[in-house]
Structure 1
Amino acid sequence: MRMRFKPYARAELLAADFHIHDPFHLQGQWHQQFARPQQPLVLELGCGKGGFISQLAAAHPENNYLGIDITDKVLILAKRKIEAAYAAAGRPIDNVRIMSVDIERIRTILSPEDTVSRIYINFCNPWSKNASSNKHRLTHPRQLIQYRDFLADGGEVYFKTDDDDLFRDSLGYFPAAGYEITWQTYDLHQDEPAWNIRTEHEGMFTEMGIQIKALIARKLPGPDSVTWVEPKRRAAPEGPVPGSGD
């Protein structure tokens, strides 16, 4: 379902101290955006309405958290959930930041100096209409290789999805991009781990009888661990195009 435009969203986000208004000038300086820059930095890519990151960050003051989504109309909901979670915990919002960015451009935001210890990807768009759209998946090798730039060696990616095809394909994506899958399940709730935080989407899919798939992958060191090679684009034909009249 397409979310309606929220004309108030930008102004409300700009008024929030924990919203990053211009992230493109902070590459290499992300740890310094937090009150305790020495703490581990954790990302949620596609934080959506904020149900996950708000609970996680409020419960773990020992880490710093950065939530990223593509539009303000979604991020405004995350902003409000974060405020509510921290109010309930009785603590200031000092270890979480949020921003609107196209994750396909993440290399323009984060650099190797912005060492990240863990990445969460929860219920991202499966892009399963046709094979050509698969490259936009947040677990596609094109993306996973970008994450290698700033994810620490041995750093982990936690991935959850309801989509069978996306999960099956991701089981191949991670090793090809230089990650070792250390844990996986086709039914997360059958023996639910203590670290799991159920998101709004997770509850909805579970009520529909859809099993939640999940995995944890660890980044392997060195470029030799990456075996995926981006397909070359077809070269444009030389000479006049038939029927062009040239």
Structure 2
Amino acid sequence: MRLRNRPGAMEKLTAHPEYVIQQPETLKGKWRGNFNNDNPVHIEIGTGKGQFIIETAKQNPHVNFVGIELQTSVLLSVLEKQLEEELPNLLLLQADAANLQEYFEEGEVGRIYLNFSDPWPKKRHEKRRLTYKTFLTTYEKVLADDGEIIFKTDNQGLFEYSLVSFSEYGAKLEDVKLDLHHSDVEDNVMTEYEEKFSKKGNRIYRAIIGFEN
């Protein structure tokens, strides 16, 4: 999700180290300790304005959440929501998903959410898709043995590409919904994009992926 550049966004993020991690590499292998508990760590890659991760963290107080977003102006929108909610189980990180292994130890993450990622439809941009094989390698390394990825999109092309990418990589397709909002799933938390697209009648796709131990 792209927003216009917000002047002073980085300064505002760094002004709240209680929620926005400044040196994530120092927490590698120590995220639970930083949350002061032994609860599982779940991450969302690409937070959008934060509706999903804020609501998910509220509903799951016994899970530690880390929202990861590359764009500072976008992450600032999440921080503003967090400053209102003051959720003790949510931290934010301005970072590139390609560098996850610099911030998380092998097996440290229990779940990864990929919500409405940029489809990068042009073939020459394939390597930027968050379901490309190099990203899958990174996810597999930071995920626990029983960890999983939950991937949602309204983009049929990206979904089809991703199912092939998961299969070719050797990942396990544990659950696939071709029309999430007309399925038996009851605990779905919507993102801003999801609300917008579903109101237009767009079909929402979801897949849950694991890796062979």
TM-score norm. by structure 2 comes to 0.93
What is the aligned partner in structure 2 of residue 216 from structure 1? 208
**Distance in 2, Cα, partners of 1:115 & 1:175:** 24
What is the aligned partner in structure 2 of residue 30 from structure 1? 31
Q: Does 1:134 align with 2:135?
A: no
1:136-156 superposed Cα distances (whole Å, 9 cap, x missing partner): 111111101111111011211
How far did 1:93 drift?
Answer: 2.4
What is the aligned partner in structure 1 of residue 115 from structure 2? 122
Contact 2:20/2:91 (<8 A) preserved: yes
5+ residue gaps, structure 1: 87-91, 222-246
Structure 2 counterpart of 1:97, from 75, 91, 105: 91
Q: Does 1:68 align with 2:68?
A: yes
1:100-155 superposed Cα distances (whole Å, 9 cap, x missing partner): 1011222222221x611111110000011x21211111111110111111101121
Alignment root-mean-square deviation, CA: 1.6
Runs of 4+ in 1 over 3 A off after TM superposition: none
1:36-95 superposed Cα distances (whole Å, 9 cap, x missing partner): 1x10010101112111000011221111001101021100001112233x3xxxxx5211
Contact 1:35/1:94 (<8 A) preserved: no
**Distance in 2, Cα, partners of 1:99 & 1:195:** 26
**Residue identity in the other structure for 1:124:** S
Contact 2:40/2:109 (<8 A) preserved: yes
**Distance in 2, Cα, partners of 1:93 & 1:161:** 27
Q: Does 1:174 align with 2:154?
A: no
**Distance in 1, Cα, partners of 2:199 & 2:66:** 29
**Distance in 1, Cα, partners of 2:74 & 2:56:** 18
The structure whose residues are more often helix, as a share, is 2
3-state DSSP of counterpart to 1:203? helix
Contact 1:23/1:99 (<8 A) preserved: yes
**Distance in 1, Cα, partners of 2:27 & 2:169:** 26
**Distance in 2, Cα, partners of 1:180 & 1:136:** 22
**Distance in 1, Cα, partners of 2:73 & 2:184:** 32
Q: Does 1:205 align with 2:197?
A: yes
How far did 1:26 drift?
Answer: 2.5
The higher relative CO (CA closer than 8 Å, separation ≥ 6) is in 2
**Residue identity in the other structure for 2:115:** N
What is the aligned partner in structure 2 of residue 234 from structure 1? none
How far did 1:2 drift?
Answer: 4.9
1:198-225 superposed Cα distances (whole Å, 9 cap, x missing partner): 111001111222101111111211xxxx
**Residue identity in the other structure for 2:109:** V
Q: Does 1:193 align with 2:193?
A: no
What is the aligned partner in structure 2 of residue 7 from structure 1? 7
What is the aligned partner in structure 2 of residue 47 from structure 1? 47
Count residues in correspondence: 212
The structure whose Rg is larger is 1
How far did 1:12 drift?
Answer: 2.1
